[in-house]
Structure 1
């Protein structure tokens, strides 16, 4: 990135983690699942605390913009809260963008964890503050899932702690266009990231490694979204692309997602890998948005985080 990152402190056992809802009222609709997620975090040694409007129900959102932002900012400002994790997902986290208190977040850097819809907030916050955020498991979908793979929680816990070994992403990737690239990570749900195009919170695409996934959209809809990124000039600027495992994204007209991406990216010279478990997959790796990364089809670990994402990083170097 063009500006040095502002690194948060690592999060370890005994630390308090604040839980917020930023979009859909999922905890209110499935309180048992939410409770199971809270207990899973507690079993990892954390002390989870729940914001005032986490269980709110206001139509298709948990509460209005002001209340959800107040919850979020309160935990950012609270020195006893070591990290903030999103309860779940939805479709309207972008309603909070204009109300983000960027100076407050920059002054109190701490890990913020989310997935799917909240990835629009994670990338906006990193773009404006240079504080790395974590694209990782939510309380509802992952920590609260009855059959959640333990590796998902293991990796998130290691990333929260800043363990450098966790930056060696142990996933076997396929390649549409092999090669190597280095750059800062931009990661999230494609349809959520699309909401940042042309806004004041748009990430710095220059030299980035774009890691994206999506769920329950046919390939022609993914094509429409990725073409928007192309026509916005994003694909002219990035250094590399990783397509995650796509959940429920069915072929359109007999063409699958990898075929679509291979075709659409054929005019560019950056490497394109696919098959990374993150986002909507049960097994998911936690990715530090804004950290420097290396993508290399010759390496033992095709995707490696090469810069710290917390102020102190136990273990060796990546």
Structure 2
């Protein structure tokens, strides 16, 4: 038996995606004209457009309708919203592209406090996945469009916050050196991967809504649930491996640039020593003519 594989041409989603693409393309083209020394590359544009395509696939393509009938397709929708789309979209940004909004972003981060911390991103990402896979909530999302929308918003927000700390071109509260990014990812992907493994090897089907669906594509409720869990577990492992490789390459690139700066200008300590050794007045140093007493320091009496 074949499921309904129609498209979801919701006007609000289509208009939102079109505006999103239009603003980005306008900003990308604006940064590539004139005398900008570091214009955004074409691969950044391609990455952003692929990310929006992932959103389109999750929300407009037949994946959305199929997710209401087949649990494994519902899981595909989840990983598109939680990982694939946020990763590709954030990789499409550069410091130049975000320059008009960078100060505003940092202002918001300071205002929201703990919500902008890496720990909150880890908790939000993990709890969002476990929370929405509670059988009663998962069934409610499949049955009710309003609950389904809330689920989508939760996954999209959790995914963007989580990947922003790792991949953002501007500084965040996450220290992206040494083992910190690996610990950040492993602490999250392992817990979410366990959920996928639990679904894969569960002895019975736990989602009543999908147990009532016909056996589309020859999938029984239990085999469909196992496939959904495998999709989650494998995707989490693959994304973590690719992200760690990318972060490692970026760390090497930043290290090489730092070595080139030090080779050309010297280390910060060497530059400071050169400033102190140079003739003439130095910042913070009071020059005293010969034969005159040194001026008193704040809080002290006159020099003897």
TM-score by length of 2: 0.27
TM-score by length of 1: 0.26
Q: Which protein has the larger Cα radius of gyration, Structure 1 or Structure 2?
A: 2
Q: Which has the higher contact order (CA 8 A, sep 6+)?
A: 1
More strand by share: 1
